[in-house]
Amino acid sequence: MKHTKRKNIKLYHKKILRRIKRSNKIKRQIRIQRSQRPHYKIIENKNSRDRDRRKFKNISSTLVPPINFSLIENTEEVIQFINAVDKVKTKRHKKIFKFELLDVVNIEICALSLLLTKINELSSLKKHYFCTMPRNIICRKIIEDSGFLDQMRKVGSNQKHYRNNDNLMVTRGFDKTDNRATGLMVKKSVEYLTLEKGQSYRPLYSIIQEICSNSIEHGNNNVKEKNWLMAVNFKTDEIEFTLTDIGEGIIKTIKKKGLDTVKHSTGLMSSEEVLLKSFEKQYNSRTLDINRNKGLPKIYDVASKNYIENLIVITNNVLMDFSDLEKTRELKINFNGTFYFWKLTKSCIEKWRTRTIF
């Protein structure tokens, strides 16, 4: 007689079965609770939660930004926070970074862009990072709408964050410019403001290319630390642009190289004057080739003709406001790199199109 293999069927007692059901129910509830937590992490961070708690403490750092996380309003404190990230990121044993945004009550695109640049750097250094969301509903909404969470997942459920708008577009790079992305971004901006499809706005394309090229060429030699990030925020009737270049900063580059033209004068001049003169093409480029240094004067030219509005440049220890030079000031804290912020409106485009050409 042939014996057929019987399936291994487990028979449970009623009570045990009830206990299993109960424990499954609890597990499910825990899963749901975790998925509803407002914590986010980067995709690469998948396995960090499995790590040993003690080990986690040694290798992790918690970074708390200022409550007023606005680069324009609270410049010094935001830069101090960014410098703190810079300092801690170089520590080899620190592998995980937690950005504690819980208590932030004010946040804007400029500070978010700077933070994204640092996250970009951490990513290139293969460090893991996650952040908590602000309690403040307005700040939380700004972060959610901004696209800051586009590459993140919720810690508990591993769910991706989806936003209902494309208010903010971010392009980033290390040692190369991204011409195609810049071209598309410019066309999208023109379409957003004027409803004209496929039209470019050449001054905007030029200054983005100038800044990215400067970032790549005049940044330090370490590719991992050459880093630029462009964020474009589409508002109701204007578009905000930020471009962050993590290099040495304009003033530091001029002073460090001891260029002949500035050698004798920088000691007598304030940092604000040195920066303004570099935009006015009064100094030669770091390479000392006579054909160089056309980038910053081009940016200055576009801003002074109002083809872009509200240009603000933060580099080293200077905040320069090109729309009102009286607002330019020396900062108490040094920022390693150069940060640009400007706005684009429909009137800027019209001004450029109707300009008089000599």
Partner 1 sequence: MENKNNILNVVNHIVDPGPRYTKQGDDSGEFFYHSILNEEFYNAISNNQKLIVNLDGPNGYASSFLDESFGNLVYDFGYDTVSKNIEFKSEEEPEWITMLKNETFLEWEKRRLTENEPKKTSSHPEWWRKTSDGNFEKKIWINP
List of residues contacting partner 1 (CB under 8 A): 175-180, 182-183, 186-187, 200-206, 209-210, 212-213, 216-217, 289-292, 294-295, 298, 357
233 token code pair: 């925020």
Q: Smaller CB distance to partner 1: residue 158 or 213?
A: 213
Give the SS3 label for residue 95.
coil
Q: Smaller CB distance to partner 1: residue 27 or 176?
A: 176
* Residue appearing with tokens 């790590």: 51
Give the SS3 label for residue 207.
helix
Q: Smaller CB distance to partner 1: residue 203 or 247?
A: 203
- Taking the complex as a whole, how short is the minimal distance between the CB of residue 161 and partner 1, in angstroms? 31
Q: Smaller CB distance to partner 1: residue 198 or 267?
A: 198
- Taking the complex as a whole, how short is the minimal distance between the CB of residue 113 and partner 1, in angstroms? 21
- Taking the complex as a whole, how short is the minimal distance between the CB of residue 214 and partner 1, in angstroms? 9
Q: Smaller CB distance to partner 1: residue 21 or 176?
A: 176
Query: Length of the chain in residues, anyone?
Result: 358
Which stretch of DSSP H or E encloses residue 275?
helix 271-279
CA 156 to CA 346: how far, in whole Å? 44
Q: What single-letter DSSP state applies at residue 241?
A: E
- Taking the complex as a whole, how short is the minimal distance between the CB of residue 300 and partner 1, in angstroms? 12
- What order of strands is seen across the sheet that includes strand 329-345? 168-173, 227-234, 238-246, 329-345, 309-321
Phi-psi region of 316 (alpha: psi -120 to 50; beta: other; left: phi over 0): left
- Taking the complex as a whole, how short is the minimal distance between the CB of residue 45 and partner 1, in angstroms? 30
Give the SS3 label for residue 40.
strand
